[in-house]
Amino acid sequence: MTESEFYLLLQRYLDGTCTPAEQAQVTQWYDQLQKADLRQLPSHSQRSVEEAIWQRLRLTPAVPQPALRGRRAARLWQKRQLRWAAGLGLFVLGLGGLLPYARHWQAASAPTAATSANGWTRHQNTTPQVQAFSLPDGSRVTLRPGSSLRYPDALAGARREVYLEGEAFFQVHKNPARPFLVFTNQVVTTVLGTSFDVKAYPGQAQALVAVREGKVSVQPRETAQLEATPTHPAKGGVLLLPNQQVVYSVASHRLKKELVNKPAVLVPQAFEFEERPVAEVLATLEKAYGVPIVYDKQKLAGCTVSITFYDEPLFEKLGLLCKSLGAYYTLADTQITIHSTGCEAHPAPPHS
């Protein structure tokens, strides 16, 4: 990992847009920072690091208290402040001269050896920590514990093909002329250059592919058309966009497309609304997360709301909004539907 990549990762952590694998990586670094003996640094460096942290905290504008009430609001506020302060502390420590420590920990977390035989390379993670490494084409892989990845030594050929058992996060170097294929026992995932997570442990009833950015094509392996790509997807597969995932059932041999559990903000937006039309709030959420939100425009045409969102997950934001409207929402595939009878009447949620 280069210095610029290190800082970009930390900034994504501060923004709350890290992938689960990246969050685990940053958490590991932060744990190591807490254990690091800073006394090994020169005394003036220790003072500089400490001063930098508190200077940043003092100069950062205060964020208004959420317009929620009671203990729940206090817990959300405290959690947000603690996570933000911890992330900022880590960022400043990186800037303050501890990048060599991070590089050391990154190197330590990389696989100790990749075995090569008969023209194939194999990475196997037998540790309790995630392991990151680069492929010959410049793509990056973060391999979860208990997982393995194998591929032709030079990734040569018209297609870049890798074979996964377990779970890995891929950041694929873009090359439209040479599609990148991830084979598991259950599914084949094809990209041209993007980032996504594949989870397919042997013997499990399901396999999952979740997209962070770009377009991803997923097909059942047994019927896969290997020439298909995200620009020319196969009829028997699905095309995924950011914040979408597909679950493959081994029993039914079917692919189910849906939203990821915690959609990430794709396009940062201002989430503070003072007597604004409900349609504007929904349009902002739709743009921020890239998720279609359907509702009866006529029934909500005259409705306004005052609400401020912070770092709550998307579905919690929707819950707070619906509560203020006396409405509820449902999920179907990758679409969110708001159910409301208008500003005055409060509809009853569906029976479970």
Sorted by where each starts, the structural domains of the chain and their CATH numbers stand as 3-109 (no CATH), 115-259 (2.60.120.1440), 272-339 (3.55.50.30)
The CA distance from 139 to 122, in Å, is 15
The CA distance from 42 to 49, in Å, is 11
What value, to the nearest 5°, has the Cα angle with vertex 85 and ends 80 and 87? 95
Q: Which helix (H) or strand (E) holds 35?
A: helix 20-35
The pTM of the full predicted model, rounded to 2 decimals, is: 0.68
More confident residue, 132 or 11: 132
Given a cut of 70, is residue 289 above it in pLDDT?
A: yes
Please report the pLDDT score of residue 19 as a whole number: 75
Query: How many other C-beta atoms can be found within 10 angstroms of the C-beta atom of residue 320?
Result: 17
Shortest CA distance to 113 belongs to which of 139, 93, 131?
Answer: 131
More confident residue, 204 or 60: 204
- The answer to whether 122 and 114 have CB atoms below 8 angstroms apart is yes
φ, ψ for residue 190, nearest 5 deg? -125, 130
Among the residue ranges 64-78, 223-237, 249-263, the one predicted with the least confidence is 64-78
Given a cut of 70, is residue 157 above it in pLDDT?
A: yes
More confident residue, 15 or 170: 170
Compute the mean pLDDT over every residue in the chain, rounded to the nearest whole number: 79
The CA distance from 321 to 68, in Å, is 12
